[in-house]
Structure formats: structure tokens, C-alpha cells
Amino acid sequence: MTVADERRADEDQGTAAGAQPEPEQRTTSVAPPGSYRMITPTDWFRIPLRNERKRVNAVQSLVDITYPKRDDLATKRHELRELLTQIADKAVSQVGIELYLSTQSVFGIPIPASLLVTAEPEDPSVPGVLPVQMLADGIKDKYKENADVTVVKLAIGEVVRCRRKELTAESKELGQPEERPNTLLDFYLPVPNSGAWMVLSFSTPLIEVADAQVEMFDAIAGTFRWS
């Protein structure tokens, strides 16, 4: 495991977007944190999303790591670059801050997994800070019996944890069968001193190792710290 770079509010990848209070409030209240830290496995590759140049460079670096022989594997390199670009662009459209993709393999077999970090700004229509339990109840209403939604306590305080299964349109396009949906684990983290939320969205397509992967996802979320 390795400590991810500390995210700073003035950098593209780590600001808790939408978490800043109104200007007139800053002199009378404590400002929300502008950065965070998190520990991720060393074989997870990070793609920053808010800066286009950094995003493109990260995609190219992952292509080079996966297929280092440029001439012999030109077609595979092109296909992987196109796929990663699509995945990154989709994450950007979801207001993503950063995306992690697992490069782990066991006996030569890839163990795919991903983590998308997003920020949900304050909702002007909701006065004050939304209680964690209230958010959990809303998520339960949304997914009904198709999700396991609980309020859990991490080092940063109480958060909402939601485990469910889903097969997205993108997964179908990649040929993933309907009987093998992705296992998703989402953590909704309230940003202190604000009405904003940080969301950690983990995913794995392998049903056979889903429980083990979820244990790892829980461990990663447990390392999250505001700074």
C-alpha cells in the first residue's frame, strides 16, 4: 500500500468541490477542509480528472506500462488508449476528481477494480447540513431491496455505506453479460463545516472475488482523512 499524494484545494485533483461556504460566512464560521488523504494499493493506477493535460498524460502512461513494445503492439495500444479515454471522459462527466484503476493480477489473471472519487456540492434547496441517517434513508428508498445501505463509523466520523450490484450500459457495450453485474460499494462522506459530500465509488466485475474485493474497498475507505 502507498499513501496517495495529498490533495490541495488549489490543485485540480483534490479540492472538495462545492464545499466552500459563501464568502460572507468565512469570517464567522470554520471553513471546510480543502484537501484529503487516502491510502490505495500500489498496483492501483491513478488518473487525475480535472486537468485535461494531466488526464491525457496519465492515460498514455498506463498504456505504456501495459504495452511497452510500441511497434509490436500498436493495435492493442490504440485500443487500450481509446478504452481508457472513454472511461476517463465518462468519469469527468460524473464530476469526478480522480479515478483509480487496478492493474493487479494473480497468476497472470487480471483482477479488475476501480475507484472514482467525486464531489457533490451543497444543495441550495436543502438548508443546513443533511444528517447522515437522512441521506441513508433516501438511498434506501432509491434502491429499495437492491442495495445494502448502512451508516458506518470511520476515522473521519459517520458515513453512508451502500453495497449493490449493477450492470451499466458501458459494461454491456464491453460485452459483460447481464448475469454478471458489477459489485459496487459507495461511501458518502459529509464534508465538515458544509453541506457538501465526497463520494467514493468502488467497483469490481468479478463475482467470484467480490467479497474479498469489498473487504479491500472497506479498508481503503477507512484510510480516508481530511486535511
At 9 the pLDDT is: 35
3-state secondary structure of 88: helix
DSSP conformation letters of 95-164: TEEEEEEE--EETTEE---EEEEEEE---TTS-SPPPHHHHHHHHHHHHGGGEEEEEEEETTEEEEEEEE
pTM assigned to the model: 0.83
| Other beta carbons within 10 Å of 196 | 22
CA-based end-to-end distance of the chain? 20
pLDDT tens sequence for the chain (227 residues): 333 443 433 344 444 443 433 444 444 467 878 899 999 999 999 999 999 999 999 999 999 999 987 777 889 999 999 999 999 999 999 999 999 999 988 777 788 999 999 998 887 777 678 899 999 999 999 999 999 999 999 999 999 999 999 877 666 666 677 778 999 999 999 999 888 999 999 999 989 999 999 999 999 999 999 98
